[in-house]
Structure 1
């Protein structure tokens, strides 16, 4: 009775699990001492479930059968059979497998996994539970599986889940994978962007952990490199058309010409077709490994225009010895329980097998035996030219086998003791936790001589770089243009075919790089890739493209007109070759000649009364001093030197003091002569005779000589290079040395001039026909006006113009003295000789 109850219970279970929503029929099973479970996404989508809740919820059927995924299932079969035949790996232990369809959906994947680890049922027959799981293809589904199976300590080995998040051993201690983390893939794309100068990159990714994590790693990698993410859009499978349209609109409006695409190839196709519909061209796509080698996309002629030039990161292709022959020998008669193979067979040969799952197909298609040969058939199933995912699955099975080999303490075949036969301990009591521990420690050498081991649950990064190009026959193909080995990026740029016409590398920037002579200025509120190019200021340059700052030129140099090079500064001084210098020299020489001419006239008429008046010796001394005043201006012209700087001010100060002293003594002589005509004043003329006059001139001049000597001794003028007046020019000028000394020289000249002016002013109305004091007054008035105006003009004039102002003041005041004092006398001498008599000169006005 007890037995009947158990049988009845078992039959009741068979009825429940045999309902249409049960997943056990969507796969196949091979018994063994230890079962390896495998989740393969043979279908890539499912019908949207009915959520009316009016009846019991059921898993919707899977759609979108994929021929290449059947090849993935056979990679499990081939690897298990190969290991079972091996005398050195797991001798005496027979592996089995349980392969089910994940349908690329979470509910299907989770239910299939739970079915495999619990044993499930196969036409109401009890099967062994799987103690390790190979799968799933999606990162999000792998996260779900790892978290669900982690408490049970069941190892999950994915062949295609590449999310960087899965490398976190704290969160996912039971997760392993035979594919590198996307962190390396995203870093590779960031390195490519740096290498080709793409600073404005868009991103369109799957709306799951696979896509979002990849973008996150990409953003972290480009920090501080000047590369920015122009936009970021996600593609969700359940609203793919809407998301693809929104992403395509953004791509169309954006100036980004390089688009990062991390998504499944089915989603990518919808997105690319939407771009074609919008007539968006000349975009370069950076493809993730999930679609960079997709034969499905390459075979679609509609994508030729939009996808040409795509650069992709691809899983490396590794041949599996004997796998091609295994696939060609496959047939449903050999594996009658393989539902995937049956569907593939019917699709490939266009026939219906006996006991086909679809009665409609049996009626429409002709029947076939299931023993047809695949030799010569060209399909994705039999194509082993580029084995990537299949090899990852193959490695996952071998990783489990080597872990078991270590766990079971199997005796090696080449043991030195011939009496010991290769064998392993019994696998009956192995727990998933024990197997999990040994998988993490697995380390073996593949048939191709490569070392295999897990590093934080992943394998070291090895990728191929591919480029989508047109083949000679017009078809589309991907061509290897480089590889990634660890952190090393190797690209053959000459082999790349770029999109658009004439096939030049695209430029993808928010703002074109600033040319030399400008610097970047970040626009407020925009990414650092969007900037203005501001010209460098005077004296600064930037000599490279994309400079973030301008650099100050060395002191002796200045920026050129393009602000991209420092050139030696132009030297500026009052040169004898420039117009202003020539003009001032000409005026000075003219003044000297005129003064000399006047001296000749006076010398020729030295015996006439007008020359003798007021001591002719003073007149000749005055003419000599005027000549020195004109000549001293010549010292100011030309490149300053140590001796010219010292001579300039001393010659100027002494010459003018000598000149003013002569005029002052002449003025005093006029006053003394007038006073001597008064009663009791005859002794004045004796006390101020010729000797006293010469002595006075000497004393007045000696004071200036002493001032200049002290100035030149204590702090003499010296030449200097002035960089602060004109940026592009170096002003060669003379410093005054001591400002006090320079002020004393000018002040003493001014003091004598002021005294002379006052005395002449008082004597201007003396009742002589020829009153020289009147002309001296005019000359002193001009002299004082010139030098009063000189001070502000000299201070405000830059560079060589300050020198020109001083020369002009010297010449103007010298001509004023010459003309006011000597022209009236020359007029009488030359034009009015009849007035050149003592009687006339002494006559009353």
Structure 2
């Protein structure tokens, strides 16, 4: 009824303005006016769109630029009570004529939602997905219904489309919330961490222990226990063991191209020198003992000092292999991004696998020959029983490097380098203790046994028993 009243008044005001139009000042062509008794509909519409008056209730009536009547509406809430009654309750209003949305007024405390609850119900099918999860549409359901699936490993949520995940670049990894790709941390065995510092300390301690044995042999160089089985070869073996312990330090620290080449070549040459020295010592014992037999043909070879040439020849072969390795396909540092999840491991790539295996295989061949010769000479008289200790040292050496292979292949990252250092230290320590600890025991604790008379007498007793 109120709208009809306003409509009649709007038409009346439009006709009144049309009647009061002054010719020459009208709104139409050449200032003409419309004939109130014979006008066109569009002429009346012109006046209706431009009315502006207050109705009998004092409310302003006008049309906006779109031809709409700005009005105010009352917002009602239909409320159902537990006793079965219901009623409409005014909870606010909206004035279309207000600017900047200020015409909306709602009293939230008066709203009663379905079920008699005053709290606003959740109007969603599925809750928003947490960080790091993407939306996955449920087949046969509306778009607002979805499952939340975690982004796969190495992926973050697409910031422009929460239904997709983006894979991080190879050198980056998602943060804990899978919102951003962060640079992967770089890992290598360093001196600053506990493992690296412990291995370095062990290496230095063993080197100092070997140097102490070397000094002891220098001081006691004229005693029978030191002169037995070639004193010079014992010196050379101790020196090579010292360098063997120290070369493990080259495996600690950030790898680069130079260090990768140095540490592998140093390790190969030093251990070849060490094993070839042990081989020369073993052959020396065998030749000297066999030459004591009147019918032996080795008497002529003893004077040639053939074992002395074994060390440079065997070591030179390894040096040649290393030179070929370095000139054809040398080791180099590389960033391994697949070794460990979320970490970049800086490690040494061995370059040519064939030459790397050849270098290791040559060391294994020298160790096998030394073990074989020492094993054959294990029944020599006690005066020359160093072959027994050489046999034990080569058994330790072989055991360490045989167990090293599966351990090396089953570890990743910096643990691989730690396993290799442990193998170097263990095999070197085995040679040091098995070969030199019996001699140090006699020199330090039983000096009475370190005499020509004792050794000669023991040798005579052993030959008498035989």
Question: If the length of structure 1 is used for normalisation, what is the TM-score?
Answer: 0.46
Query: Is residue 278 of structure 2 the alignment partner of residue 694 of structure 1?
Result: no
CA distance in 2, matches of 1:665, 1:617: 11
Considering fraction of residues, name the structure with more helix: 2
The correspondence for 1:813, drawn from 398, 422, 427, is: 427
Deviation at 1:815, TM superposition (A): 0.5
Give the superposition deviation at 1:833: 2.1
- 2:100 aligned with 1:492: yes
Aligned CA distance change for structure 1 residues 512 and 621 (closer, same or farther; 3 Å): same
- Pick from 773, 784, 797: which aligns with 2:398? 784
Is 1:724 matched with 2:400? Answer: no
1:94 and 2:29 are equivalent in the alignment: no
Say if 2:243 is the partner of 1:650. no
| Residues 677-714 of structure 1: per-residue CA shift (max 9 Å, x gap) | 22222x52442457432221000000000111111111
Are 2:246 and 1:570 equivalent residues in the alignment? no
Quick one: which of 804, 826, 837 aligns to 2:440?
826
In 1, Cα distance between equivalents of 2:109 and 2:128: 22
- Paired residues, number: 427
* Equivalent-residue separation in structure 1 for 2:446 and 2:292 (angstroms): 27
State the distance in 2 between where 1:465 and 1:718 align.
81
Preserved contact between residue 778 and residue 820 of structure 1 (Cα < 8 Å): yes
What secondary structure does 1:561 align onto?
coil
Change (3 A) 1:505 1:685: farther
Contact 1:621 1:662 in 2 (8 A): yes
Match of 1:633 in 2: 248
Distance 2:52 2:241 in 1: 116
CA distance in 1, matches of 2:158, 2:107: 32
Say which SS state the counterpart of residue 513 (structure 1) adopts. Answer: coil
Distance 1:481 1:739, change over 3 A: farther
Give 1:666's aligned residue: 281
Q: Which residue of 2 aligns with 1:31?
A: none
| 2:406 matches 1:798 | no
Pairing of 1:417-816 with structure 2 (within 5 A): 477-480=93-96, 492=100, 497=105, 500=108, 508-542=123-157, 544=159, 547-681=162-296, 683-689=297-303, 691-816=305-430
What do the CA deviations read for 1:713-733 (whole angstroms, capped 9, x no partner)? 111111112111223222111
| Aligned 8 A contact 1:538 1:727 in 2 | no
Q: How does 1:156-171 map to 2 (within 5 A)?
A: none
Name the CA distance, whole Å, in 1 between partners of 2:237 and 2:67.
Answer: 100
Residues 323, 779 of structure 1: alpha-carbon distance in 2 compared, 3 angstrom cutoff = closer
Residues 783 and 718 of structure 1, relative CA distance in 2, 3 Å threshold = same
- Aligned partner of residue 697 in structure 1, secondary structure: helix
Match of 1:261 in 2: none
Structure-2 change in CA distance of 1:617 and 1:521 (3 Å) = same
Q: Which secondary structure does the structure 1 equivalent of 2:135 belong to?
A: strand
Report the CA distance shift for 1:831/1:592 in structure 2 as closer, same or farther (over 3 A): same
Please state how far the C-alpha of 1:92 moved relative to its aligned partner: 9.7
Residue 60 of structure 1 corresponds to none
Distance (whole Å) between structure 2 residues aligned to residue 502 and residue 666 of structure 1: 104
Q: Could you list the per-position Cα deviations for residues 492-533 of structure 1 after superposition, in whole angstroms to 9, with x for gaps in the alignment?
A: 367654663699999854334334433223334322222333
What is the distance in 2 between the residues matched to 1:671 and 1:466? 118
The runs of 5 or more residues in structure 1 that have no matched partner are: 1-65, 98-133, 135-177, 179-317, 329-375, 389-449, 451-459, 483-490
Instruction: Write out aligned runs for 1:249-268 (5 A).
Output: none
| Alpha-carbon distance in structure 1 between the residues aligned to 2:204 and 2:300 | 40
Q: 1:79 to 1:480 in 2, by over 3 A?
A: closer
Post-superposition CA distance 1:730-778 (Å, at most 9, x none): 2111111111121111100001001111111111122335511111111
C-alpha displacement of 1:78: 6.9
Q: Residue 671 of structure 1: SS of its match in structure 2?
A: helix
Shift of the 477–529 alpha-carbon distance from structure 1 to 2, 3 Å rule, reads: closer
**C-alpha separation in 2, matches of 1:386 and 1:629:** 102
Deviation at 1:597, TM superposition (A): 1.0
Q: Are the counterparts in 2 of residues 614 and 669 from structure 1 also a CA contact under 8 Å? A: yes
Whether contact under 8 Å (1:516, 1:543) holds in the other structure is no
Q: Relative to 1, partners in 2 of residues 1:322 and 1:532: Cα closer, same or farther, differing over 3 Å? A: closer
Q: Secondary structure at the match of 1:725?
A: strand
| Shift in CA distance, 837/540, structure 1 to aligned 2, threshold 3 Å | same
Distance 1:632 1:319, change over 3 A: farther
User: 1:757/1:475 Cα in 2 relative to 1: closer, same or farther (>3 Å)?
Assistant: closer
Contact 2:10–2:51 (CA under 8 A) maintained in structure 1: no
Aligned-partner Cα distance in 2 for 1:639–1:754: 34
Shift of 1:659: 0.3
Higher Cα Rg, which structure: 1
Aligned mates of 1:799, 1:464 — CA distance in 2: 74
- How much does 1:84 deviate? 8.6
Secondary structure of the structure 2 residue equivalent to 1:807: helix
**Alignment partner of 1:68 is 2:12:** no
Aligned-partner Cα distance in 2 for 1:466–1:495: 8
Residue deviations 1:630-664 (CA, integer Å, cap 9, x gap): 01001001111222111110000001000000001
Paired with 2:446 and 2:161, the residues of 1 have a C-alpha distance of 82
Alpha-carbon distance between aligned partners in 2 of 1:475 and 1:763, rounded to the nearest angstrom: 109
2-side partners of 1:778 and 1:465: how far apart? 106
Residues in 2 aligned to 1:544 and 1:809: alpha-carbon distance in whole angstroms: 50
Deviations 1:348-391 (A, max 9, x none): xxxxxxxxxxxxxxxxxxxxxxxxxxxx5x3xxx9552558xxx
Q: State how far apart, in whole Å, the 2-side matches of 1:465 and 1:710 are.
A: 95
Once residues 61 and 127 of structure 2 are traced to their aligned partners in structure 1, the CA distance between those partners, rounded to angstroms, is 43
- Kept in 2, the 8 Å contact 1:769–1:840? The answer is no
- CA–CA distance in structure 2, aligned partners of residues 574 and 607 of structure 1: 44
Q: Aligned to 1:385, which of 53, 57, 61?
A: 61
Whole-angstrom distance in 2 between the partners of 1:638 and 1:833: 44
Q: Kindly provide the CA deviation profile for residues 144-171 of structure 1, in whole angstroms up to 9, marking residues without a partner as x.
A: xxxxxxxxxxxxxxxxxxxxxxxxxxxx
Match of 2:80 in 1: none
